[in-house]
Structures are given as C-alpha cells and as structure tokens.
C-alpha cells in the first residue's frame, strides 16, 4: 500500500491534555490530577452526546457548540462536581493554558522527518480553528503541517464518518492512502472503520478496545509512526 498523507489527531496525540494538571494543581491544591482527568472525560462525553443526538441533519447537529465552548463548559462542570470554587479568574487561567497545551517532546522532530519524506501532513481535530492555530503556533509546528482541519464546518464531532471524510476534501487521496495517527483508541477505531490506515500511539500502555478491528500499527510515542512508515513494509510515496 502507498501512504501519501499522515493525518494526526491533535488533543492527546500532539498536545498533552493532561499537562493542564500542573496549573490546575497550583490553583486547586491536591485536585490537579482529578481536574485534568474529569475535565477531559466530560469534554469528550459532550462531543459524543451532541453528535449522537442529531447525527443525520444535513447541516450538522442542531446541538453543536464549538469545541472551545465545550471545553469551558466541561471545566465548569468539573469544578462544580468536585465542589471547588469556580472563580472566573481561575477558569480563565485554565482556559488560556488549554489554548497553549504542551506538545509532546518528540513531536517536532518526527513531523520534520515525515515532511522530509515528501508526505502531506495534517491535523484532523474536534478543536475549532482558533484553538488549533493557537496550539500549533505555540508548539512551533506551523511549518511542518500542511493542513489544519476542524470539524466545525460539518457541525459533527469524531467519530462520525463525516468528520473523517473531511480529510479527502482537503487532500486528494484514497482512504487507504491516509495514515491516521491518534493516541485515543476510540478515535483510531473510528478511523479504521472509516477505511483509513491507522496508527495508535499508546502512550499509557493500555489494551486496545475490545471492539475490532485493531489498528494497523501502534507504538508508545510519535517516533513509532516513523517505524510504521519506514520499517513495517508501508511503501512511502515519492
């Protein structure tokens, strides 16, 4: 098979969503880890609730709200659930930190090597364009990503087939010519069902979902994507 494009999930794959724990711990001592986990879980739960409740509307879900708004609402819910004081200043500090999440250390070098192979690179994310632009610019990745693709235009979140279909609206490729990379097992599974070649970045050493099929490739960090492209019999297009 020939891979022509490598498309990355953003949050959890390129940007460490749990790095927010450091600031959360400063603002809410002894609660940082709990905030970061519950915040992320609620954020994803809201995206699924919106998409599943109105999946067939021709103009996208009537319940759609941009990911930035869902991120704020998820944070507010998390603080309320933990019975923590939800001061506007503290919420704003956490939100601004979320706009500039820490990238994983190996990311930039890996993206540079993939670009040097002559492949198209992109992000496909639930995140809004403002969020993606902020995160990519902060991480110094603007020059190594050809496309930033947000689900905003279709008003449906991953793992809807329409969300993965956005890739082919930006890049002239067949499904199997896309190597889709995600650290979220549910995202890797959704992309596999859609027909992409998939690579799961298993940073936490977790078992894959009990549902099948397994992703085509997996590894512990983004460096393993290079192994998939070079060492595992994937023919890289010239």
Q: Top-level CATH class of 18-98?
A: mainly alpha
In tens, the pLDDT along 9-24 reads 999 999 999 999 999 9
Which pTM does this prediction carry? 0.94
> What distance in Å separates the CA atoms of residue 117 and residue 140, rounded to the nearest whole number?
20
Peptide bond into 203 cis (omega under 30): no
Structure tokens at 190: 């959704």
Q: Where are the domains of the chain?
A: 2-15+103-236, 18-98
pLDDT value of position 238: 47
- Could you tell me which residues come within 8 angstroms of residue 194 by beta carbon, excluding any fewer than 6 positions away? 161, 164, 165, 175
Are 179 and 201 in contact, with CB atoms under 8 Å apart? no
Active site residue 9: yes
pLDDT in tens, 52-65: 998 787 788 999 99
Give the pLDDT of residue 231. 59
Band of pLDDT at residue 27, cut at 50, 70 and 90: very high
Tell me the per-residue pLDDT of 134-181, one tens digit each, with 9 for 90 and over: 999 999 999 999 999 999 999 999 999 999 999 999 999 999 999 999
Quick check: 233 pLDDT over 50? no
Please choose, from the candidates 124, 112, 127, the residue with its C-alpha nearest in 3D space to the C-alpha of residue 222.
112
Q: What is the pLDDT of residue 44?
A: 97
- Nearest CA among 80, 89, 106, 71 for reference residue 23: 89
Q: What percent of the chain has pLDDT over 90?
A: 91
What is the CATH T-level fold of the domain 2-15+103-236, as seen in this structure?
Rossmann fold (3.40.50)
Catalytic residue, chosen from 9, 16, 152, 216, is: 9
Contact between residue 222 and residue 108 where contact means Cβ atoms under 8 Å apart: no
- 195 closest CA partner among 231, 235, 159, 225: 159
What confidence tens digit (pLDDT) does each residue in 179-209 have? Answer: 999 999 999 999 999 999 999 999 999 999 9
11 secondary structure, DSSP code: B
pLDDT of residue 236: 52
């Amino acid at each position: 098979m020939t891979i022509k494009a490598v498309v990355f999930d953003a949050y959890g794959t390129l940007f460490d969503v749990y790095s927010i724990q450091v600031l959360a711990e400063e603002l809410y001592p002894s609660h940082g880890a709990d905030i970061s986990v519950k915040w992320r879980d609620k954020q994803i739960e809201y995206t699924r609730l919106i998409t599943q409740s109105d999946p067939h509307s021709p103009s996208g879900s009537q319940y759609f709200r941009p990911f930035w708004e869902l991120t704020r609402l998820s944070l507010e819910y998390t603080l309320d659930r933990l019975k923590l004081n939800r001061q506007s200043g503290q919420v704003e500090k956490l939100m601004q930190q979320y706009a500039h999440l820490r990238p994983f250390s190996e990311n930039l070098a890996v993206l540079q090597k993939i670009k040097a192979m002559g492949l198209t690179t992109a992000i496909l994310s639930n995140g809004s364009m403002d969020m993606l632009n902020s995160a990519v610019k902060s991480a110094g990745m603007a020059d190594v990503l050809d496309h930033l693709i947000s689900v905003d235009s279709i008003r449906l979140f991953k793992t809807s087939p329409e969300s993965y279909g956005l890739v082919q609206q930006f890049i002239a490729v067949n499904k199997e010519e896309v190597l889709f990379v995600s650290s979220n097992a549910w995202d890797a599974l959704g992309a596999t069902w859609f027909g992409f070649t998939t690579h799961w970045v298993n940073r936490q050493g977790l078992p894959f979902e009990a549902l099948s099929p397994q992703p085509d490739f997996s590894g512990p960090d983004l460096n393993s994507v290079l192994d998939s492209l070079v060492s595992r019999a994937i023919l890289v297009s010239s």
